[in-house]
Amino acid sequence: MDLSEKLLYFHEKLVRFFEKYLRAILALIIILLLITFLWIGFSYYKSKKEKEASLKLMEVVKAENIISALQEVKNKYKGTQASLQASLLLLDYYYTQKNYQEMQKLIEELQKEYPKKIRGIILYGKAKTLEINGDLNRALEIYKEVSKVQPELNFLTYLDIARIAENLGKFDLAKEYYQKYLKESKIKNSGFVEYKLYELSKK
């Protein structure tokens, strides 16, 4: 069989293959095209939504009722950075107003919506709520967890752990975390911490 015959034979096999599987190939191509178009559409929609949400958040300062405006951004643009920022601003507002019920409710929402992104911040808010409500043992455990998952908050959590440990009579643990604070924290409050360590040394 010379080269031309081989090429002809190969061509016939190729034609038969396409005749047999043409519908499947076309279906696959259509599916891939649909996936591509859907992804392009989703990316465009997401980008547009993020931009719209950011603009809406900037307009909040002009609103007559800032809290309602923040709640609107949070609920309407879920999954965006603007919604997350609005949620954190609301969390701070509820804390300053001592509205711990709404604070706890919002923390639970954030845990579902952003399970990894701001886990440490959410846990910190949860620990603070538990501490305020007098559940010191649970608050202590969550502060310890925050210290592991978000070490950049240790300038806060070390002091929180030490304070609660001291209130629970766990003086060795309190000393351990005051010492950690002095050693590791970049934001120093050393005078207060050194005084606390001096007090604890007498117990």
How do residues 141-186 score in pLDDT, each as one tens digit?
999 999 998 887 787 889 999 999 999 999 999 999 999 998 886 5
Among 91, 117, 143, identify where a domain stops: 117
Residue 169: inside a domain: yes
**Residues written for the chain:** 203
Kindly state the DSSP code that residue 62 receives in the 8-state scheme.
G
Alpha carbon distances (Å) from 120 to 16, 28, 112, 150: 61, 44, 14, 5
Q: What does the longest C-alpha to C-alpha distance in the chain come to?
A: 102
CB count, 10 Å around CB of 181?
Answer: 25
Question: Which residue range(s) make up the domain with 74?
Answer: 50-117
Q: What's the number of domains the chain is made of?
A: 2
Q: Are residues 105 and 125 in the same domain?
A: no
Residue 171: inside a domain: yes
Residue 20: inside a domain: no
Residue 16: inside a domain: no
pLDDT, tens digit, for every residue of 114-138? Answer: 766 667 877 888 888 888 889 999 9
Kindly state the DSSP code that residue 13 receives in the 8-state scheme.
H
Residue 86: inside a domain: yes
Q: Are residues 162 and 104 in the same domain?
A: no
Distance CA 68, CA 70 (A): 5
Positive or negative torsion for Cα 34, 35, 38, 44: negative
Among 117, 140, 160, identify where a domain stops: 117
